[in-house]
């Protein structure tokens, strides 16, 4: 694991090992590396401990299955909502005309589960009366204090956010649909990745987004954009030329640069209890922290050499009053990082690559309930919703892995 906070760059000097025989040197190096890895895995730290619940949620009715799960949120009643993109083709054989088989059918895009994992509601999709424009690629959702569901999108023309009641009745559109990228626009967005709220201030925070390079703060009543900002609190600049050459073989590492603009996607913007906002600058492998007015506070990098989709996908807070820990979904490295919020340093991780319970293909979104349980969704080939049961703070492995039940 490589993680760094600004001003604490990691030493990149490498030791040169010289031996009388290249074969012997390589063999010794292999033994040494194996020993170090064994020590690292055996280390314990004081951290939240989790255990995967392989029986949650319960099977869906009607032969339904869901596709890539690209959003999760938990409401005040500890109901869990997900948004997914559905399935087509042979996987949805019962949906074909004529049907190919008895199974299966694509579930509606919005699913609501109670704390026990029972499906409570299922709804969503394009309007039959053209009352609203459903996203071409729905992405991310938030639930406000009234129980209303806000939905973003990251496909072509998804320059707006939709709001529905808990039962799926359409309420409002924020932003003009079918607009192009413009990080300075005040009348539309650029493929919003996620939506979060500050209820006391009556403000919504849009992670804007997949083509725009900003945070947008929106009045929850009027829908007007109140303020926006980019990396370090700068004015967003769609023409910015990045300093680092982010591609394989260049030795690129995000913490070598202080890129003055977010890279797309800006994938999360999460307000904390103490008036800070944590922003996922996903391809720059960093979390930037701001005051709610957009004043820059600090940043931290996680696995800064990660290429592809990047390492900082989503953030959830532990539910204690101090929100002592943040959980960072890292889809590219197949884990959820447990980070001390005060120091911004990683203390442990859960998850690993794989297809069994507690393992990830591409962990995408995370949220917590009032009991400290952690929910995680997967996109791409994963297509799953996980529940990790909170077991308290104790002696945790540095890497907790798949956190399978122990029977204790």
Q: What is the largest CA-CA distance in the chain?
A: 79
Q: Span 181-207, mean pLDDT? A: 98
**H-run or E-run covering 338:** strand 335-340
Whether 81 contacts 55, CB under 8 Å: no
Looking at every residue in the chain, the average pLDDT score rounds to 91
Quick one: pLDDT at residue 209?
Answer: 92
* C-alpha span between 208 and 195 (Å, rounded): 9
* C-alpha span between 368 and 283 (Å, rounded): 24
* C-alpha span between 135 and 124 (Å, rounded): 11
**What's the gap between Cα 239 and its chain centre?**
26
For residue 32, pLDDT beyond 80: no
Quick one: pLDDT at residue 406?
Answer: 83
Whose CA is closest to 326, among 377, 278, 260?
278
Whose CA is closest to 195, among 72, 379, 319?
72
Residue 309 neighbours by CB distance under 10 Å: 18
Q: Span 345-367, mean pLDDT? A: 97
Residues 6+ apart with CB under 8 A from 148: 163, 164, 165, 166, 171
Q: For residue 287, give both structure tokens.
A: 């979390």
Quick one: pLDDT at residue 161?
Answer: 98
Whole-structure pTM value: 0.90
For residue 331, pLDDT beyond 70: yes
Quick one: pLDDT at residue 96?
Answer: 94
Model confidence at 11, in pLDDT bands (50, 70, 90)? very low
- Beta partners for 397? 44
Mark residue 266 as left, alpha or beta (left: phi above 0; alpha: psi -120 to 50; beta: remaining): beta
Q: Span 250-269, mean pLDDT? A: 97
Quick one: pLDDT at residue 5?
Answer: 62
User: What are the pLDDT digits (tens) for 216-249?
Assistant: 999 999 999 999 999 999 999 999 999 999 999 9
Q: Which domains does the chain have, with CATH numbers?
A: 3-16+46-397 (2.120.10.30)
> Which letter does DSSP use for residue 361 in this model?
S
User: What are the pLDDT digits (tens) for 83-139?
Assistant: 999 999 989 999 999 999 999 999 999 999 999 999 999 999 999 999 999 999 999
Quick one: pLDDT at residue 42?
Answer: 55
Quick one: pLDDT at residue 15?
Answer: 39
* C-alpha span between 339 and 349 (Å, rounded): 9
Quick one: pLDDT at residue 4?
Answer: 62
Quick one: pLDDT at residue 43?
Answer: 82
Least confident of 38-47, 73-82, 172-181, 297-306: 38-47
For residue 38, pLDDT beyond 50: no
For residue 270, pLDDT beyond 90: yes
For residue 351, pLDDT beyond 50: yes
């Amino acid at each position: 694991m490589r993680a760094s906070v600004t001003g604490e760059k990691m030493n990149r000097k490498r030791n040169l090992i010289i031996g009388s025989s290249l074969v012997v040197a390589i063999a010794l190096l292999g033994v040494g590396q194996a020993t170090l890895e064994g020590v690292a895995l055996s280390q314990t730290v004081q951290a939240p401990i989790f255990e995967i619940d392989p029986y949650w949620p319960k099977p869906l009715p009607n032969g339904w299955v869901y596709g890539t799960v690209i959003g999760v949120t938990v409401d005040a009643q500890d109901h869990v909502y997900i948004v997914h993109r559905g399935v087509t083709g042979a996987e949805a054989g019962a949906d074909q005309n004529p049907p190919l088989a008895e199974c299966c059918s694509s579930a509606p895009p919005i699913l609501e589960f109670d704390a026990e994992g029972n499906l409570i509601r299922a709804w969503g999709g394009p309007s039959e009366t053209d009352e609203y424009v459903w996203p071409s690629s729905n992405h991310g959702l938030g639930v406000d204090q009234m129980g209303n569901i806000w939905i973003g999108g990251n496909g072509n023309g998804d320059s707006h956010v939709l709001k529905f009641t808990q039962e799926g009745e359409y309420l409002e559109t924020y932003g003009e649909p079918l607009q192009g990228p413009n990080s300075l626009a005040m009348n539309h967005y650029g493929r919003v990745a996620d939506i979060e709220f500050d209820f006391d201030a009556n403000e919504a925070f849009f992670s804007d987004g997949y083509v725009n390079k900003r945070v947008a703060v929106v009045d929850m009543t009027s829908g007007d954009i109140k303020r926006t900002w980019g990396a370090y609190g700068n004015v967003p600049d769609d023409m910015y030329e990045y300093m680092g050459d982010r591609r394989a073989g260049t030795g690129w590492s995000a913490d070598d640069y202080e890129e003055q603009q977010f890279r797309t996607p800006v994938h999360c913007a999460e307000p904390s209890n103490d008036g800070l906002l944590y922003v996922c600058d996903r391809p720059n492998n960093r979390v930037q922290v701001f005051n709610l007015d957009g004043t820059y506070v600090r940043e931290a990098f996680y696995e800064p050499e990660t290429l592809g989709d990047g390492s900082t996908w989503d953030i959830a807070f532990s539910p204690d009053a101090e929100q002592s820990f943040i959980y960072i979904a890292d889809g590219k490295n197949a884990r959820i990082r447990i980070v001390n919020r005060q120091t911004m340093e990683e203390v442990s991780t859960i998850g690993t690559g794989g297809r069994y319970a507690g393992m990830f293909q591409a962990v995408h979104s995370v949220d917590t309930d009032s009991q400290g349980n952690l929910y995680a969704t997967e996109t791409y080939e994963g297509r799953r919703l996980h529940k990790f049961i909170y077991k308290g703070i104790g002696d945790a492995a540095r890497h907790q892995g798949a956190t399978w039940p122990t029977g204790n």
